[in-house]
């Protein structure tokens, strides 16, 4: 079954009217929104509660005027008036010159640096050549050679092996005449070297050598000859 519309139910002919009514209503809403004014309110906390305060009713904060700058001190004005004071102060004429009293004079002399005495180092290097050589039993180094040869004991092990030769020693005659620092410069055999050092170390005191009228250390290089017979 078909449904038929009546002419009264057909709204197509009234579309323009509805459009105009809607446009007028929209314009009224916009105009009302612009013309309607609301007062802004703000909530203020008063501790126990809150209250609404109109923003327009808040009094403006007064502006504090800064204090004026300090006044610049004025420069004092100098007067052109000059007061003349009479000079009535008397000075006694009793000044004494240094030329009047010779005892008050100070003679200026050139500074001369004092000369220090030459210090003698006790740990001086031993001499090899001196003005007065050390003496052994009233003689020279040859007397010491005779003394050493008379006290040498030929080691048995060196005899068995037929070892002989020259042992070169070095020693120092101290300022008190004692013999020290005995060492082997050139050895032959351990047993021969040991015997040569033993005899030289047992030497009695020498008469020390002298240089510039004072006792000094003297170093000797001394050969000890071992020879089988």
User: Please, what are the domains in the chain?
Assistant: 141-226 (3.30.2420.10)
Q: Are 228 and 156 in contact (CB under 8 A)?
A: no
Closest Cα to residue 214, out of 149, 142, 118, 70? 118
- What tokens were used for 188? 């032959």
Residues in contact with 128: Cβ distance below 8 Å, sequence separation at least 6, in sequence order: 218, 219
Please name the residue that has the structure tokens 């612009």.
34
Q: What is the mean pLDDT of residues 110-124?
A: 58
Residue 189 has pLDDT above 50, yes or no: yes
pLDDT (tens digit per residue) in 140-179 = 778 999 999 999 999 999 989 999 999 999 999 998 999 9
Pick the range with the lowest mean pLDDT from 8-22, 98-112, 134-148. 98-112
Q: List the helix and strand counts (H, then E) for the chain.
A: 4, 7
Residue 81: predicted pLDDT: 64
pTM tops 0.95, yes or no: no
Q: 187 near 170, Cβ under 8 Å? A: no
């Amino acid at each position: 079954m078909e449904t038929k519309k009546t002419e009264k139910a057909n709204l197509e002919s009234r579309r323009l009217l509805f459009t105009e009514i809607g446009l007028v209503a929209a314009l009224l809403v916009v105009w009302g929104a612009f013309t309607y004014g609301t007062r802004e309110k703000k909530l203020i906390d008063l501790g126990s509660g809150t209250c609404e305060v109109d923003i327009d009713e808040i009094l403006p904060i007064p502006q504090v005027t800064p204090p004026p700058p300090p006044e610049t001190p004025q420069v004092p004005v100098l007067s052109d008036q000059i007061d003349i004071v009479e000079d009535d102060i008397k000075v006694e004429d009793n000044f004494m010159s240094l030329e009047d009293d010779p005892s008050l004079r100070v003679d200026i002399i050139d500074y001369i640096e004092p000369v220090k005495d030459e210090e003698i180092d006790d740990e001086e290097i031993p001499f090899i050549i001196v003005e007065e050589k050390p003496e052994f039993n009233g003689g020279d180094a040859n007397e010491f050679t005779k003394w050493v040869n008379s006290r040498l004991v030929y080691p048995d092990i060196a005899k068995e092996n037929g070892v002989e030769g020259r042992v070169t020693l070095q020693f120092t005659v101290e300022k008190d005449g004692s013999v020290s620092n005995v060492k082997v410069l050139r050895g032959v055999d351990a047993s021969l070297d040991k015997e040569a050092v033993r005899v030289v170390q047992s030497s009695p005191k020498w008469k020390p050598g002298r240089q510039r009228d004072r006792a000094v250390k003297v170093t000797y290089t001394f050969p000890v000859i071992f020879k089988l017979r």
